[in-house]
Amino acid sequence: MRKITIEDVARRANVSKGTVSAVINAKSTVKPATRDHILEVMKELNFRPRGVARNLKNGSQDKSIAIIIKDLNYPFYTSIATGAKEYASSKGYSVIITSSDDGHEREKKLTHLFSTKDIKGTIIAPVVEGTAEIEHLFKLKMINYPFVLLEDVKGIQANVVAIDNLRAIKKAVKYLIDGGHTRIVHFAGPPQSSHTQERIEGFRDAFSESTLAFHPDMVVSIGSHYDESYARTMEYFKNMSRSDFPTAIVCFNDHQALAVMTALKDLNISVPGDISIIGNDDIYYARIYPIPLTTIRAPQHEIGKTAAEILIRNIESSTLLPIERVVLDTEFVVRESSRVLNAS
């Protein structure tokens, strides 16, 4: 099927190529009504702007997609990227893997770069920073640029591949309650992350299905980065009497769990003798932590593969496809960092 061009859009919208170009590049010189009309025509025609390097001199096309993860050093994201890369390669696509370094501005710059340099679509692990603007994601939608998010972003209707965080945390807390734990806390992640909110909700819901009561102070925000999580764990236990210690902590992710376990070791608090620790993700080295980590195993490779499937399906479709939201299940893995208290 013939590719839709900027000339086709201009002809259908009854405007000049320059006006269409101005809309694509978000120039303020176009009247709002004209811009909206052109954007509607672009959607009708399923038009996607061409990057400067799309057509090579020999007439061949280089098919590329990009993956923007938050942290190249965190195995959870690198495993997702590997799954996406393997599938994309099988379909003839080159893959650029880069990191936003957990920074909103860098993510914004990368999405602009990829959408203007003929990277045909992007998988994004979005950075959400409170009141941080998400206009860059709106712009991708406006120009019909294919992308898939690895987390829900409030206000953005987009393709998403995620895990069932609520169900996963409920499973972990139920394991602790059934094991005799009554003083359980959740060390939460970044406040504005949908993953954080879903895991808090799952933690709270687990108590609603037990005889134990939930209290808001059972959720403690300590972040997800190692240094921050370590410092806030030290602060949390600093003036606490041992008789008030929780018997178990459910962590936001495995990286945070390692920081928590290190802090507890430095405080001479035994894991799991004094406090059981549960992580989230099951990154590949969780099993070789100083104390092998009980955790929630996310299907990281499958997340990446599924995201790449959806992305490439949208890239290659000649029509606008319905939005997809895929939620994958998890597996609870028990190792030495946790123990039951009511064993006979």
Look at residue 336 in the predicted model and tell me its pLDDT.
97
d(CA 86, CA 254): 25
Look at residue 109 in the predicted model and tell me its pLDDT.
92
d(CA 124, CA 342): 44
Compute CA distances 100 → 69, 138, 329, 332, whole Å. Answer: 6, 18, 26, 29
Look at residue 131 in the predicted model and tell me its pLDDT.
56
Compute CA distances 29 → 9, 32, 290, whole Å. Answer: 18, 9, 60
Q: What is the pLDDT of residues 307-341, one digit of tens each?
A: 999 999 999 988 889 999 999 999 999 999 999 99
Cα dihedral 195→197→202→205 (10° resolution): -170
Q: What is the pLDDT of residues 9-21, one digit of tens each?
A: 888 888 888 888 8
Compute CA distances 222 → 80, 102, 259, 262, whole Å. Answer: 25, 16, 10, 14
Facing residues of 331 across strands?
A: 297
Alpha helices in the chain (DSSP H): 6-13, 17-24, 32-45, 75-90, 104-116, 135-142, 165-178, 194-208, 226-238, 254-266, 300-316
In one-letter notation, the amino acid at residue 306 is T
Q: Which CATH architecture has domain 6-45?
A: Orthogonal Bundle (1.10)
Low-confidence stretches of the chain (pLDDT < 70) are 1-2, 50-61, 129-133, 343-344
Domain 165-298 homologous superfamily, CATH? Response regulator (3.40.50.2300)
> 165-298: same fold as 6-45?
no
Look at residue 60 in the predicted model and tell me its pLDDT.
43
d(CA 250, CA 195): 14
To 5 degrees, how large is the angle CA 172–CA 177–CA 180?
A: 130
Domain boundaries, the chain: 6-45, 64-162+300-329, 165-298
Burial degree of 60 (CB within 10 A; 0-12, 13-18, 19+): exposed
* pTM for this model (two decimals): 0.81
Pick 64-162+300-329's CATH classification: 3.40.640.10, 3.40.50.2300, 3.30.70.1450, 3.40.50.300: 3.40.50.2300
